[in-house]
Amino acid sequence: MGFKSYGEHGVNMLPDTVHKLPQSERFAYARLLAYMTRVDNELTVEEMSMFEQRLGTALLSPKQRQMIRADLKNPPPLEECLEDLGEEAGRLALRDAVLMAASDGTVDEDEREALEEIAEHLDLLPDAVNRLLKWTVEGYTWMQAGYDLLNNLSR
Amino acid sequence: MIVLLPDAALSLSEEQRRKIACTLVMVAASDGALVREEISAIESAMGAMMLHPESREEVRQLLTQPPELDSLLEGMETAAIRLALRDAALLASLLHYKELSIADIKTHCDEKRIIIRN
């Protein structure tokens, strides 16, 4: 398996491949994220925003969105979420689960445990979650640099 | 000083956020075609901004009839324009030929001679 940023369109900056997954896997991906929103029993605005962003990227059908929103209220067991995830979808879901867990500025013990469980299910390296968290911190730093840039664009 | 926090778009009004999304539609449609990647990116932006479902529906309607830039920028706050510029740049990076619209937006921003006051 190999992730490509943007296949046939050449070099691009901000690609994603979630929308290219089969619909059933995009649904499974979204269910896992819905599960993650409830791991620490609180749903912050930042987490909700990140969840909605990823849901948008996945281009789910209206019916699927309804089901995912129901999952937000009654999250399915983790094992059930992981069942339908293929290798690529699983890795993307783990990446985005890390983004969501970190979106409110902290990753608590329960969230960390869930992330490790997902990584283990996907048979990833023991430091997978740590590496993804490091990447996430770098990403937020980059985003902050973007805001700094926006604040300094005046003549 | 205009404060642009990580959740800057969320601090804007629904109308300002809707205008940002509309700007993205305008940029994406500037070449007369909308590809799946662009639609995914627009849906993603609308999700991140937590637009109301009705606003999202309004924005989706524009996919077939993109708005004019001038009408969009009318009434847009400085922070919203800058966030739209940022997100349009991200969107435009999806496909090379979107760069023209980005230049259009930047020119308009320049024309408005936005001054950030401390």
Question: What pLDDT is stored for residue A20 in this prediction?
Answer: 87
More confident residue, A16 or A149: A149
Q: What phi, psi does A115 have (nearest 5°)? A: -60, -40
Out of B6, B82, B110, closest to residue A143 by CB: B6
Question: What pLDDT is stored for residue A17 in this prediction?
Answer: 85
pLDDT in tens, A27-43: 999 999 999 988 887 88
- Three-state DSSP state, B59: helix
Would you say residue B55 lies in a domain?
yes
pLDDT in tens, chain B (118 residues): 344 445 689 999 999 999 999 999 999 888 888 888 889 999 999 999 999 999 999 999 998 888 888 999 999 999 999 999 999 988 887 765 444 455 555 555 544 443 333 2
Contact B10 A45 (CB under 8 A): yes
Q: Tell me which residue of B18, B101, B26, B31 sits closest to B66, measured CA to CA.
A: B26
- Spell out the domains of chain A, with CATH numbers in brackets: 16-151 (1.10.3680.10)
pTM value surpassing 0.95:
no
Question: What pLDDT is stored for residue A43 in this prediction?
Answer: 84
Would you say residue B107 lies in a domain?
yes
Is some CB atom of chain B closer than 8 A to the CB atom of A150? yes
Would you say residue B6 lies in a domain?
no
Please state, in angstroms and as integers, the Cα–Cα distance from residue B58 to each residue in A39, B52, B92, following that order: 34, 10, 22
Q: B21 lies in which domain range?
A: 13-112
Q: Which residues of A touch B37 (CB under 8 A)?
A: 6, 9, 15-16, 19
Q: Sign of the C-alpha dihedral, residues A72, B46, B55, A30?
A: negative
Q: Which residues of A touch B6 (CB under 8 A)?
A: 46, 140, 143-144, 147
ipTM attached to this prediction: 0.82
Please tell me the distance from the alpha carbon of residue A60 to that of residue A83, in angstroms, as a whole number.
Answer: 19
Q: Which residues of B touch A53 (CB under 8 A)?
A: 44-45, 47-48
Question: What pLDDT is stored for residue A103 in this prediction?
Answer: 86
Would you say residue B93 lies in a domain?
yes
Would you say residue B3 lies in a domain?
no
More confident residue, B93 or A25: A25
Please tell me the distance from the alpha carbon of residue A47 to that of residue A25, in angstroms, as a whole number.
Answer: 22
Would you say residue B7 lies in a domain?
no
Is some CB atom of chain A closer than 8 A to the CB atom of B39? yes
Chain A closest CA to B117's CA: distance in Å?
10
Would you say residue B96 lies in a domain?
yes
Please tell me the distance from the alpha carbon of residue B10 to that of residue B5, in angstroms, as a whole number.
Answer: 9
Range list of H helices, chain A:
23-37, 45-58, 62-73, 78-83, 87-102, 109-121, 128-151
Please state, in angstroms and as integers, the Cα–Cα distance from residue B111 to each residue in A51, A87, B31, B84, B116, following that order: 36, 49, 24, 16, 15
- Note every long-range contact of A147-152, with CB atoms under 8 Å and residues 24 or more positions apart, other chains counting: A147/B4, A147/B5, A147/B6, A147/B8, A150/B4, A150/B82, A150/B83, A150/B85, A150/B86, A151/B1, A151/B2, A151/B4, A151/B116
Residue A62, judged by CB atoms within 10 A of its CB (0-12, 13-18, 19+), counts as: exposed
Would you say residue B117 lies in a domain?
no
Please state, in angstroms and as integers, the Cα–Cα distance from residue B88 to each residue in A14, A101, B25, B82, following that order: 12, 27, 9, 10
Number of domains in chain B: 1
